[in-house]
Every structure is written in C-alpha cells, then in structure tokens.
Amino acid sequence: MNRTKPFAIADAHELLIQGVMDYAIYMLDPTGRVLSWNPGAEQIKGYAADEIIGEHFSRFYTEEDRVAGVPREALRIAEEEGRFTAEAWRVRKDGTRFWAMVVIDPIRRNGQLIGFAKITRDMTEAREAQLKALESERRFRLLVQGVVDYAIYMLSPEGYVTNWNAGAERIKGYGAEEIVGEHFSRFYTAEDREARVPWMALETARREGRYEAEGWRQRKDGTRFWASVVIDAIRDESGELIGFAKVTRDLTERRQAQLELEQSREQLFQAQKMEALGHLTGGLAHDFNNLLTGIIGSLELLKTRVSQGRIGDLDRYVSAAQGAASRAAALTHRLLAFARRQTLNPRPTDSNRLILGMEELIRRTMGPQIGVVTFLSSRLWPTLCDPNQLENAVLNLCINARDAMPSGGQLRIETSNVTLDERDVRGQEVKPGDYVVVCIADTGVGMPQEVIDRAFDPFFTTKPLGHGTGLGLSMVYGFARQSGGQVRISSEVGVGTEMRIYLPRHEGPAAAEEAQPELGVAPQAEHGESVLVVDDEATVRMLVTEVLQELGYSAIEAADGPSGLRVLQSDVRIDLLVTDVGLPGGMNGRQMADAAREIRPELPVLFITGYAENAVVGSEQLEPGMHILTKPFAMEMLANRIRAITSGG
C-alpha cells in the first residue's frame, strides 16, 4: 500500500498540470531538451506536444537572445542558484513575439541534477496596459510640470509638500528644492495661520473629499496674491487617505478688475441717484414749503391769538401745525428709506403674525369693492427686520394695489419660504440663501415694462397730481435692500401686478410681541436721578430737558461728543445717557456711548436720532442696555421711554 501512494500522487500531479491552460508547464532534461508538454504550453507557444518534445527549449527565445547565449545562461543560473526568473520577449511557432514571465527550477534526485521544470506565462496584455499606464503617467507628469498658470502639487496627509511643478514655482516663488518637505501653511497669511485656516482646509478636504476657496495667499518674497484654491483628497483602493492634490491659481488681476468694475458701477449708481435727486429738488422743495407754511402760519396765528387773549380756538392752530409736522416727518422718513439711511430697529419677526395683526386695517382700507384673501405659509421662517417698517411696506403696497383697481377686484396677500441659488440671484443685487417672501398681488390695471423699470425711482408716480408723492415704492425698495433683501415686480397690463418682498431668513425663533406703551402722564423720577442730554441742536436739548424736569429728573446738557464724555468721566451721578448719534467735535454718539461704558459698564443709553449710518446703529443689534428712539417723536413717548429705561423696564 505504501508503495502505490507516490504513484497516485504523481498521477494526480500530472493531471493537474495537464489541465492548466493559462500557463505553459513543461519539463527539460539537463541539456535543455523538452521532455513533457501541457495544453497551456501548446496554447501559448503554438506547438503540439509531438512537434516539440525532444527539441531544445532555446527555439522559444528570440534570435538576439540565442546569439547572446541567454538560454544557456538561464539554465546555469537555475542550477547554481536554485531558480531562474525573468520577464522578456519569447517567440511562438508562427514567429510572433509575446512578453513572457519565466520561472525555471532545477530538479534533483539524490543530489544529482536530472532536469528542469519550466513555467511560462503570457504577460503581453498586462505589459501593454502597464506601458500605457506608464506612458499616461509620464505624459501627465510632463503636462503638470509644463503648466505655468497653475500651481499643481501634492501634499502628504499631514500637509507637507511632496512634489512641485513649474507653475507653483512661478506663482509662489519657491524652487522645488526649497519647498518639498515643508508644510503648505507657509503660503497662508499670518492671520489665516493664526485662525487655523490651512488645517481647517485639509480637514474639510479629508471629510468631504474637496475644499474650494478664494483668499489671500503669500509668496516667498512676502507679497500677497488673490488665489483660487482647490484641495482634493486622494485615497487608495482600500479608502485609506494617502495625501492631497492641491491646485492654486493667481487671480489677483481678475479680482482687481472686479473691484474696479464694482467701484465704477457704484460711482455710476451714485451719479444717477444725484442726477435724479437734482431733477427732483424743485418738487421736494415745493412739498416742504407747503408743509412749513402750515406749521409757521399756525404758530404765528397761535401767538397772535394768545396776545389778543382769544384762546377759544387755539386747538385748531395746534392741530394744523401738528398735522403739517407729521406729514413732513413722514416725507423725510420715506426719503431716508429710499436712500437706505433710515434708522432700523431689526428684530426677529413673524411675518404671518404681523400680517394677521394688520388684516382688519387692510380690509377697511380696501373698501367693499375689493376682496382680500390671504395665503399664509403654516411653516413660515422668521426674518430679521424692523417690524414697523415691514408694516409700512405692506400697507404701502396694499394702497398701491387698491389704487390700481378703481372698479374693484381682488387683493391677495401671501407668504412663503424660498431658497435662491446662484442662478436666481444673478444680476439681482442679493445673495444666494434662504428668504421669506411677502407677496402683495392685485387684479388691477397692471404696468407696462417702462413703468416697471422706473417704479422704484424716487418721486416717480403714475397717479394724478396731488394723489401721491412717488416715494411709496422707493421706500419699500430701500427698506428691503437695507434689510439684506430685495423687491421684485411681476406685472401684465390688464391682468394685474405682483409685488414680492424678499427678506433674509432668521435662524432662531421670532420675538414675542411687545406691548405698546400707553401715552399719558409718566411716573415721576426717584429722588436724585440725573440724565445727561447730548445733542448739537439747542432746541432739541431744551425740549428734552423740559420733559426731564417735568418728570423730576436732574438734567445735564452737552452740545457735542467730547463735552458729553468729559461729564461722563467725572464723578457726577448719571443714571441715563440720552444722545443724538450724529454729533460734532470728532466723536459721534455711538463712540461716546462706547467710551462711557468703559467707565460706567451698566450705564443705560437712549439714542435719539433721525439719521444714522448703518455701521453705527442701523444694521446691527444694539447691545444690552442700549435703546433707540427715532426723531421726530412725541414728548409723551419720550417721557414714557425714559421712565421705562431708568426703572429697568
């Protein structure tokens, strides 16, 4: 039994060899003549077994290899070293060549060489693919190295430079020998490195696969350039991060051109606005002269009647003066809105709640011939805006819609959420993002394109003389733009008009409704409370001081910022600072208040202003303890506001 086992194993081994088709497997005698031949050998080399057994294996070699003695050397190496391996060209029966992987092993019995086992595999396709890949890689490397408009280089997973092309050297100023092995953060500005921007960029690329940005970068000589940057994560077949590919382009010239173009557009816009205001100065002066005539005339008659002792009809003149003053204030307010210079008090606002609160007023304003329908989104986002200005804007648009439907019709008020992408905002002077839309639509006469083009111009109106100032739509436009949004018109003559106000989404809840303070007799001051009043207008200081004294406060006056700050830097008791924003003396009211809070951190501040730059008050949230009251205001309102602040309300 033991004697038959080796023969069984040998038979099985022979069957295995004979069944292999992808490899030429055959035996050689010690001189190199073929002793056996499997089907794989016949398939690869083209010889049948009866054609090749007994022939020397050198016939599979190329002519040049035979001349060079390669077959003989292969057997020698196999015998002396125990194995010969190589890759080289071999020849088939039909004379064609193939790229072969060759292994020759010696076979010994009792230490005596009795022959060789030879395995050959056709690797022609694999070699061609490898050569194509190498050629592709070579061409890509040459292409990358030849690119001079882009800095193209590789980073290790930690951010160290591993190679460097000619474009990188041209743009950044470093030679490859200077920068390979260094961390790529050296190309960033000091402030970006301090803010950890390079490391955050790699983390983004690692997490998301790509990082894209534009920003200032730094050359070897310290100069800065505006760069477009792309960083792509590179991973192997198993998903393991092996590094990053980084492409940088110098866009300094393009950015400079963009800045110059934007500057030119702004200059053109300002020139057009000044030209428009110049044309409209006469109409504006006419409106104000009418209002001032009513105020001055009423006050003169009031003074005359008092001197005559005729006090029975004084209320008539007081009402006339107050009415004219209120209309003048409204006109000024609309002008400031158009100029985007009115003082806003932005708060997280629920537009649905605001519209529902106005609905009864709107229905009464529309009259019986116009039906009012509302479609309010049930999941409307909050928006950050001045709710009073939004009310004014909605009311203005509703009144315009009413006037566009003289024979009656339908007014539709609608709210919705919308997300604008780059295509939506192209040419619209508004950023991509989430917006709340308030739409006022009518079924009125509509507007032709030439009217739409001028609808937001100040004082432009299609209404008859004396029926409108032409500031309503410009006020709506100014409010929306100053709030970070936009207004769009869609109209068709004879069909109707849609006015859509876009306001940026506020990430957070809307503010609760504020109870409106009741005007009337304000509570008296506590004993010893003192208020500093700073305003360059003597009349305003006088009126505010009078109100304070009526309430029992001690009032201290200052005409400019430096004078007010000197009072605040003294030991005088100050319970409240009341100040205008625009002050002479090189220090505005906001700057004075900020300086005062360095000394008196808990000091309440009330800004009274009719004009304020956005950077000072308008477009920012006021700090805790700071309040604002827009001129003109009723003295009763001022009194209630002061008392609410000083009492902690």
Residue 127: C-alpha distances to residues 84, 123, 134, 451 (Å): 20, 6, 10, 73
The contacts of residue 565 (CB under 8 Å, 6+ apart) are 587, 592, 595, 596
* Within a domain: 513: no
**540 and 473 both lie in a single domain:** no
Distance CA 110, CA 320 (A): 133
Residue 151 has a pLDDT of: 80
**272 and 240 both lie in a single domain:** no
pLDDT at 521 > cutoff 70: no
pLDDT at 271 > cutoff 70: no
**438 and 576 both lie in a single domain:** no
Structure tokens of 550? 């009526």
> CATH number for the domain including 66?
3.30.450.20
* Within a domain: 524: no
Question: Using 50, 70 and 90 to split pLDDT, how confident is the model at 90?
Answer: very high
Residue 409: C-alpha distances to residues 43, 363, 464, 493, 537 (Å): 91, 13, 21, 15, 50
Tell which of 225, 250, 275 closes a domain: 250
Residue 8 has a pLDDT of: 41
* Within a domain: 517: no
**Residue linked to tokens 């890509």:** 140
Residue 104 has a pLDDT of: 94
* Within a domain: 425: yes
Of the listed ranges 121-125, 380-384, 387-391, the least confidently predicted one is 387-391
Residue 144 has a pLDDT of: 44
Could you give the strand order of the β-sheet that contains 210-218, starting from the edge strand earlier in sequence?
A: 150-155, 241-250, 224-235, 210-218
**458 and 602 both lie in a single domain:** no
Q: Which domain holds residue 400?
A: 347-504
pLDDT tens per residue across span 602-641:
899 998 876 544 434 544 567 888 888 877 777 777 888 8
Whether 578 and 530 have beta carbons less than 8 Å apart is answered as no
**Residue linked to tokens 């004396």:** 466
Tell which of 103, 122, 141 closes a domain: 122
**489 and 576 both lie in a single domain:** no
**72 and 100 both lie in a single domain:** yes
* Within a domain: 218: yes
What is residue 183's DSSP assignment?
A: B
Please choose, from the candidates 562, 516, 570, 547, the residue with its C-alpha nearest in 3D space to the C-alpha of residue 634: 547
* Within a domain: 520: no
**442 and 541 both lie in a single domain:** no
Three-class DSSP labels, 356-419: HHHHHHHHHHHCCCEEEEEECCCCCCCEEECHHHHHHHHHHHHHHHHHCCCCCEEEEEEEEEEE
Whether 400 and 472 have beta carbons less than 8 Å apart is answered as yes
Distance CA 158, CA 160 (A): 6
Question: Using 50, 70 and 90 to split pLDDT, how confident is the model at 413?
Answer: very high
pLDDT at 255 > cutoff 60: yes
Bridging pattern class, strands 530-534 and 554-558 = parallel
* Within a domain: 497: yes
**397 and 312 both lie in a single domain:** no
pLDDT tens per residue across span 272-319:
555 555 544 555 565 666 666 767 777 777 787 788 787 777 777 777
Residue 465 has a pLDDT of: 41
Residue 295 has a pLDDT of: 75
Identify the helix (H) or strand (E) that includes residue 436. strand 433-442
| pTM listed for this prediction | 0.37
**322 and 297 both lie in a single domain:** yes
User: Percentage of the chain with pLDDT > 90?
Assistant: 27
pLDDT at 463 > cutoff 60: no
pLDDT mean across residues, the chain: 80
**352 and 500 both lie in a single domain:** yes
Question: Using 50, 70 and 90 to split pLDDT, how confident is the model at 373?
Answer: very high
pLDDT tens per residue across span 526-579:
666 889 999 888 878 888 888 888 888 888 999 998 999 999 999 888 989 999
* Within a domain: 604: yes
